[in-house]
A and B are shown apart, each in its own frame.
Chain A
C-alpha cells in the first residue's frame, strides 16, 4: 500500500510540475501586463520535445547522455519518498540527508554534462552551478536539521507528522529562521531570481541554462521536466515542513484526497508568491550571490543553535 502511495505521489508531482511552472509564468505575465500563455503550455512544450531527436556533441561521452536520466530519476525518487501527500509513504527512506544528497546528485550529473560538452558556456555554467551548490547544500541541510533537532529524528515523515499533530510547534523562533533560510536556499537551488534568471538569453548571465544549451529533444525535455519537478519538490517541502496542515497521516482514501488537495493548493500558492516576488526583484550579479547564500547559511546556523538551546 505504501508503495502504491509512493508511486502515486511521484506521478502526481511529475504531472503537477509543469503546471507549477505554468503558474509562475502566468502570474508573472499578469503582473507584467501581458496575457501570458495558458497553464498547460509547459506540458505542450514537453510533449513536443519528447518526440524530437536528441543530439550529442561528438566530443561528449556517457556523462552527457546519462545526466538527464540521472537528474530525472533522483528527482522522482525524492518525489516518491518524501512526505508530500501522505506521511506514511516509504517511511524510513525519506531521510532529509538522503533527500538533500539525491538533489545534489542530480546537480552534479548536470554539471558534469556541462563540462563534457567542451564548450566555454558549458564549463561556465558548471562552475557557477557548483559554486552555488557548494554554498546551498549546507544551508538546505542545516535548515531542515534545525527542525529535526526538536523532533529528534532526521526522518522527514516524522518531522511533518510532528508538525501536523501539534500545530503550535511550528511557530517557534527556530522554525521561523529555518523557513527564511530554506526559502532563500530554494531560490538558489532551483535557479530563480535573484540567484539566476531562468528565462535569460544572455549566456554570460546564465547559470543553469548554460549547462543545458547543448541538450535537445528528449534530453532537453527530461532536464526541463526535472527542473520543474525539483522546484515543485522544494516548494512542497517548504509547505509541508512549515505549514503541515492537511497532510494525510493515515492511508485512508478520504485523508489521501484531502492531502492531495491541500498539497496542490499549497504548492500552487507558493508558486504564485514566488512569481510575484520575482517581479519585484532583480537578479544579483554572480559575486553578490555568495553574500546572499552566506546570509542564509547564517540564518540556518542560528536556527540550529536556537533549536538546540531553546529546545
Chain B
C-alpha cells in the first residue's frame, strides 16, 4: 500500500519535452527507433552518470525512441565515453565490429573528443576517433542530460 501511495503522490516525474532539435541524416533511416549499446572506454564515470540520468524518469530519453540494449549485436549505435585507454582499445574495436551495419558511433563528453583532462596520460591511447570512426560528438565535461537527449533526438528524429 505504501508503494501505491508513493506512486500516486509522485505522479509524473518526467519533465515536459523540450523543443524538437533538427533531425540529423541518419534519422531518415532509423525512423524513430534507436538501440544503443554503451561502452566505457576509460571514462571517469561522470558521463555515465549523466547518461544514466538521460534515461531516468525525469529526462526519459525512451519516449523519443532511444533504448539501451545488452549486446552490440542488438544495437544501431554505440555511445562511447572517456579517452580510449590502452587496455580498452581492442574491446572498443571488437564492440564496433560486432554491430551489424549500418552502424553509428556517438562520442559522449570532451574526453571522447580530445581526451579532455586525461590528454597525454601514459595509459591513454587517444580520442575515440583514433580507434573507431565517430559519427556524432556530444560536447561537455560532463554534458548535461538535456544535451545528450537532444543529440539522441537528432538521431531518432523525434
Check whether chain A touches chain B (CB < 8 angstroms). yes
A residues apposed to B, CB below 8 Å: 29-38, 41, 44-45, 47-48, 52-55, 200-201, 203, 206, 209, 213-217, 220, 279-280
Report whether B14 and A33 are in contact in the complex, using a CB–CB cutoff of 8 Å.
yes
Given contacts A31-B7, A48-B30, contact A217 B100 (CB under 8 A): yes
Contacts of B46 in A (CB 8 A): none
Contacts of A53 in B (CB 8 A): 100-101
Report whether A216 and B65 are in contact in the complex, using a CB–CB cutoff of 8 Å.
no
Contacts of B17 in A (CB 8 A): 35
Chain B residue nearest to A215 in the complex (CB)? B73
Contacts of A279 in B (CB 8 A): 3, 7
Partner of B65, one of A34, A41, A54: A41
B71 at the interface (CB under 8 A from A): yes
Contacts of A29 in B (CB 8 A): 60, 62
Report whether A45 and B33 are in contact in the complex, using a CB–CB cutoff of 8 Å.
yes
Partner of A48, one of B33, B69, B71, B101: B33
Can you list 9 A-B pairs, Cβ within 8 angstroms, ordered by A?
A35-B63, A37-B64, A44-B33, A45-B35, A52-B100, A53-B100, A214-B71, A217-B100, A220-B73
Report whether A216 and B74 are in contact in the complex, using a CB–CB cutoff of 8 Å.
yes
A-B contacts besides A33-B14, A37-B63, A209-B70, 17 pairs, CB < 8 Å: A30-B12, A33-B7, A33-B10, A34-B57, A34-B63, A35-B12, A35-B60, A36-B60, A37-B64, A37-B65, A38-B63, A41-B65, A45-B67, A55-B73, A203-B70, A216-B74, A217-B100
Which of A52, A200, A217 counts the most B-chain CB atoms under 10 A from its CB? A52
Contacts of B3 in A (CB 8 A): 279-280
Contacts of B31 in A (CB 8 A): 44, 47-48
Report whether A34 and B60 are in contact in the complex, using a CB–CB cutoff of 8 Å.
yes
Chain B residue nearest to A203 in the complex (CB)? B70
B11 at the interface (CB under 8 A from A): yes
Contacts of B70 in A (CB 8 A): 200-201, 203, 206, 209, 213
Report whether A216 and B62 are in contact in the complex, using a CB–CB cutoff of 8 Å.
no
B32 at the interface (CB under 8 A from A): yes
B residues apposed to A, CB below 8 Å: 3, 7, 10-14, 17, 30-33, 35, 57, 60, 62-65, 67-71, 73-74, 76, 98, 100-102
Q: How far is the CA of A30 from the CA of B71 in the complex (A)?
A: 27
- Min CB distance A2 to B, Å, is 37
- Min CB distance B70 to A, Å, is 4
Interface of B, helix, strand, loop or mixed by DSSP: loop
Contacts of A35 in B (CB 8 A): 12, 14, 17, 60, 63
Report whether A41 and B14 are in contact in the complex, using a CB–CB cutoff of 8 Å.
no
Report whether B100 and A216 are in contact in the complex, using a CB–CB cutoff of 8 Å.
yes
Report whether B73 and A33 are in contact in the complex, using a CB–CB cutoff of 8 Å.
no
Chain A residue nearest to B55 in the complex (CB)? A34
Contacts of B69 in A (CB 8 A): 201
Report whether B100 and A213 are in contact in the complex, using a CB–CB cutoff of 8 Å.
no
Partner of A37, one of B7, B62, B98: B62
Chain A residue nearest to B38 in the complex (CB)? A201
- Min CB distance B53 to A, Å, is 13
Contacts of B65 in A (CB 8 A): 37, 41, 44
Contacts of B67 in A (CB 8 A): 45
Contacts of B98 in A (CB 8 A): 55
The 8 closest A-B pairs by CB, nearest first: A33-B13, A35-B14, A216-B73, A44-B33, A213-B71, A35-B63, A34-B57, A201-B70
Report whether B73 and A214 are in contact in the complex, using a CB–CB cutoff of 8 Å.
yes
Contacts of B10 in A (CB 8 A): 33
Report whether A54 and B100 are in contact in the complex, using a CB–CB cutoff of 8 Å.
yes
Q: How far is the CA of A52 from the CA of B35 in the complex (A)?
A: 13
- Min CB distance A310 to B, Å, is 36
Contacts of B71 in A (CB 8 A): 213-214
Contacts of B30 in A (CB 8 A): 48
Q: How far is the CA of A37 from the CA of B30 in the complex (A)?
A: 16
Which of A35, A44, A200 counts the most B-chain CB atoms under 10 A from its CB? A35
Chain B residue nearest to A213 in the complex (CB)? B71
Which of A31, A34, A38, A47 counts the most B-chain CB atoms under 10 A from its CB? A34
Q: How far is the CA of A200 from the CA of B98 in the complex (A)?
A: 20
